[in-house]
């Protein structure tokens, strides 16, 4: 049986199955990327709820795993060479899981890099911009009298949705016929924009030609439905 005692995070969130991949997360658009991927891949794992509303990511135990204090993070007790591997940053974890299993990303070098390109598109643009829109539209930022920040992030969100819509023209998934980590990286964020932030009308979501149908296809996948609620909020 694997021994996780060397990891401080395992002291705060003890493992029942230390031989399985350990997921430390919360069901946010970033967090569900990894839970969806794990459900799609069927890898044995154990999920630990790290409540961001209670600032649990800023505890010493969590910071020992991710010094940036953000979910998700993982420990794979069966990492490269059989040694444990710790990882944070959802994009890095998606790439690791895809390469570990040989799934959800093409082995063809050109297609592989194209998939990575779209994962980075989500990480660098969609996540930060959608998140800022949510702050200024739904959360504390909505109380700010000056609406220029909201207008800026709304315009950029609409532009990014347009980029995604163009990409999906004639494609079932981001990479064509093959569902991949590129889709997984984006599904939670687009769903969050429309469902959680309630910003569909603001960004004219219904005017998009391809994104709504892509999101509907993604949400129809059983693994996606399960992953969206892992770990449970309690």
- What pLDDT digit, counting tens, does each position of 140-151 carry? 999 999 999 999
% pLDDT > 70, the chain: 100
Q: All domains of the chain, ordered by start, with CATH?
A: 9-103 (3.40.30.10), 109-224 (1.20.1050.10)
* pTM, two decimal places: 0.96
- Residues 107-115, mean pLDDT to the nearest whole number: 98
- What pLDDT digit, counting tens, does each position of 193-213 carry? 999 999 999 999 999 999 999
d(CA 164, CA 20): 35
Q: Regarding beta strands 45-49 and 21-25, do their DSSP bridges make them parallel or antiparallel, or are they unpaired?
A: parallel
Residue 104 near residue 97, CB atoms below 8 Å: yes
Q: How far is CA 7 from CA 70, 93, 174, in A?
A: 17, 18, 37
Q: Regarding beta strands 73-76 and 85-88, do their DSSP bridges make them parallel or antiparallel, or are they unpaired?
A: antiparallel
The side-by-side arrangement of strands in the sheet containing 73-76 is 45-49, 21-25, 73-76, 85-88
d(CA 44, CA 88): 19
- What pLDDT digit, counting tens, does each position of 116-167 carry? 999 999 999 999 999 999 999 999 999 999 999 999 999 999 999 999 999 9
CB under 8 Å to 151, separation ≥6 — which residues? none
pLDDT at residue 177 is higher than 50: yes
């Amino acid at each position: 049986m694997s021994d996780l005692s060397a990891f401080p995070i395992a002291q705060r969130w003890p493992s029942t199955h230390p031989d399985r991949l350990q997921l430390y997360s919360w069901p946010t658009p970033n967090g569900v990327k990894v839970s969806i991927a794990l459900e799609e891949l069927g890898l044995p794992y154990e999920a630990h709820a790290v409540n961001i509303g209670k600032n649990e990511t800023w505890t010493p135990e969590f910071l020992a795993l991710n010094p940036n204090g953000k979910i998700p993070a993982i420990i794979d007790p069966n990492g490269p060479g059989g040694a444990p591997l710790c990882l944070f940053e959802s994009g890095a974890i998606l790439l690791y899981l895809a390469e570990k299993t040989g799934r959800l990303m093409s082995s063809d070098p050109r297609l592989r890099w194209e998939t990575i390109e779209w994962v980075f598109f989500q990480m660098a643009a969609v996540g930060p911009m959608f998140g800022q829109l949510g702050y200024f539209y739904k959360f504390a930022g909505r109380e700010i009298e000056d609406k220029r920040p909201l207008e800026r992030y709304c315009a950029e969100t609409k532009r990014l949705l347009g980029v995604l819509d163009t990409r999906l023209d004639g494609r079932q998934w981001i990479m064509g016929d093959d569902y991949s980590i590129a889709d997984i990286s984006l599904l939670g964020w687009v769903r969050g924009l429309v469902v959680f932030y309630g910003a569909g009308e603001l960004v004219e979501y219904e005017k998009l030609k391809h994104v709504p149908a892509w999101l509907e296809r993604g949400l129809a996948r059983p693994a996606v439905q399960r992953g969206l609620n892992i770990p449970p909020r309690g």
